[in-house]
Each structure stands twice: as structure tokens, then as C-alpha cells.
Amino acid sequence: MSRSAHTIKGGTLPGRLRSMRSWWLDTPRAIRWIVYTCIPLGTVAIGLGIYGDAHGWWDDRSFLTNLASSFASLLFGVPLALVVLTHLSAMQAEVGERRVAQRRITEAERSFVRAFQQPFPTTDVAATKSHLETLQPQISNVQDILRQIVNAAMVGVLPNSAEPFESAVQEAVRTYRKVWHASPTWAEHVVRQWSVLDEEARPLAEATGLHWLDASTVLHINKSMAELSTLRLPTPSRLELIASEVIDGIRASHALGNEVHTLGRMLEVVHDWARASRQVASLIRNTPSLAAIDDQQP
């Protein structure tokens, strides 16, 4: 037999039969028993009515005829109406549940995106990524200059001027202040909002058949949240303070010969700026996955 002989509109015949069986089993048991009882009785009543017509049972009995025919119709109509109304009510309830679920999921998604965007001067994740990509090379530049200074200081040669370092720090901090205004608890708040999405919104979406992020995106975001949970970007004020101490140290070392202290402070600043560079890079890596949640919103 050809393949088309096994196929009907909407799917294969076995698939449709399984769907109908599932639909029937979803009908409440009490209604199924009413159908099991009334349909056979209705069939018997129709058979008796036809037999009675053939043998003249209903001659001159118009009221009894109407009563018998109404009863036979009732035995068919009531169970069928119960089945249809039950499933219509279930469909209406399901639509209502999906709407409520969609509202809750959308609000959770918006709360997450708002939390992530809080430190940045834009509400668009893609624009935030662009800002961060502008900041990272500036931090890396400060880091490179510091490494050169430290390497020179380790062999006893300090720079004649702190100006290159000072200019690089000022440029980076100026950009930093434009694109970053986070509170100390920002990363913790973002991770908590993701937990709400993953532990509450995701099961709700799956239970109601709503669209959710694919598995690879969820895995990527989980990794991003693990990185964000360790994110401790130094504030611009702290970076300026440490940089000014190093600049003062470079100047003092020429006047007082305090190279050891200066070198120690330089190493601390290299560590802080290297950490800042890594963490900004972490944010840049995170934003494509976070944009996937932003795109979920209607």
C-alpha cells in the first residue's frame, strides 16, 4: 500500500487515532460513563421506535410518539452535549492559564533585563555591548602601560614622567563613568533575577506550552551567571585613587628613592586593572546570551 493511503489531512491515521484516544481519556470519568450508558440505550430506543412504526404501535398515540422520540433524542443529545461542553470549558481554561502564564513570564523577563541594564545609559542590550567594547581596550591600554612601568622598575629604572599613565587612566575612567553606574549589589541582583526566570518562569512556560529559550542558550546564560556572580568591578573613584597614589609614588621615588614602595603599589594597580579588564570582557561575553532574553519579550 502506498504511503499516501496511510495519511489523512492533519497527520497519519495511527497518529490521529492516538490523538482521539487521548482526547477521550481526558474526558472526566463520570461523563464517559454517561456516554457508555446513554448511547446504547438511545440505540435501543431508536430500534424500538422503528420497530414500533413498522407494527403500528404509535397509531393514534401522538403524545406517546413525541415522548418516545424525545427520550431517544435525549439519550443521544445529553452525553454528546456534555462531552463537547466539557472540552470547550477545558480549552477556555487552558487559554486563560496560558495568558496568565505569558504575563508572568513577560514580567519576569522584563525585570531581568531591567536589572541587567541598570548600570548602563541605555535600555538596549546590544548598545550596552557596544559601550563595553569601547571601554575594554582603554582598560587594557592602562594595564599595558603599568606592566611596562613595573618591568622597568624591577630593574631599577623608573619612568621620567607619569604623564602617559596618568593620561591613559583619565581616558579609561572618563569612559568608565559614562557607561558604568552599578551599585555594589548589581551582579547579585542580576543573578537572582535569572534564578526567578530559570526556576519559576521556565517550568511555567514548559507546562503551558509557551516558547522558551533553547537548551544551548540556557546553558550559555547559566555560565554567564556563574561569571557574573564573581563580578566585582572596582569603582571609578577607587581606580582614580589608586592611580593617583601610583603617580605620587613615581614622583616621590625620584625625590626620595622610595622605589620599593612604588613598585608594590604599581603591582597592586596592575592586579586591579587586570581584574577590571577581565570582568569587562566577561560582561561583553555575557551580553549576547542576555540579549536572547531581551528578544523573548513581545
In terms of DSSP H, where are the helices of the chain?
13-25, 29-54, 62-117, 125-154, 163-179, 186-196, 202-208, 215-228, 236-256, 259-296
> Exposed (0-12), middle (13-18) or buried (19+): which is 290, by Cβ within 10 Å?
buried
Task: Tell me the mean pLDDT in the region 142-167.
Answer: 75
Q: Which residue is it, cell 596618568? A: 166
Q: How confident is the model at residue 30, as a pLDDT?
A: 76
Q: How confident is the model at residue 1, as a pLDDT?
A: 39
The bridge status of strand 11-12 relative to strand 7-8 is antiparallel
Contacts for 129 with CB less than 8 Å, ≥ 6 apart: 284, 287, 288, 291
Task: Tell me the mean pLDDT in the region 183-212.
Answer: 85
> What is this structure's pTM?
0.59
Q: How confident is the model at residue 7, as a pLDDT?
A: 40
Task: To the nearest 10°, report the CA torsion of 27, 29, 31, 32.
Answer: 80
Q: How confident is the model at residue 256, as a pLDDT?
A: 42
* Short-list 238, 245, 274, CA closest to 261: 245
Q: Which three cell numbers stand for residue 12?
A: 497519519
Q: How confident is the model at residue 139, as a pLDDT?
A: 80
The model's pLDDT over 131-144, given as tens digits with 9 standing for 90+, comes to 888 888 888 888 88
For the chain, the average pLDDT equals 75
For every residue of 247-274, DSSP letters joined together read HHHHHHHHHH--HHHHHHHHHHHHHHHH
Q: How confident is the model at residue 15, as a pLDDT?
A: 59
Task: Tell me the mean pLDDT in the region 70-78.
Answer: 76
Q: How confident is the model at residue 88, as a pLDDT?
A: 75
The model's pLDDT over 226-264, given as tens digits with 9 standing for 90+, comes to 887 877 767 777 777 777 777 776 666 654 445 556 667
- In this predicted structure, the answer to whether residue 77 has a pLDDT above a threshold of 70 is yes
Q: How confident is the model at residue 257, as a pLDDT?
A: 47
- In this predicted structure, the answer to whether residue 112 has a pLDDT above a threshold of 60 is yes
Q: Which of 130-144, 216-230, 275-289 has the lowest mean pLDDT?
A: 275-289
Percent of the residues in the chain that have a pLDDT greater than 70, as a whole number: 79
The model's pLDDT over 12-44, given as tens digits with 9 standing for 90+, comes to 656 566 666 666 666 777 777 877 787 787 777
Q: How confident is the model at residue 222, as a pLDDT?
A: 86
Residue pair 139/280 in contact by the 8 Å Cβ criterion: yes
Task: Tell me the mean pLDDT in the region 96-121.
Answer: 85
* Short-list 77, 113, 83, 298, CA closest to 196: 113
- In this predicted structure, the answer to whether residue 290 has a pLDDT above a threshold of 70 is yes
Task: To the nearest 10°, report the CA torsion of 206, 190, 176, 252.
Answer: -140
Q: How confident is the model at residue 4, as a pLDDT?
A: 42
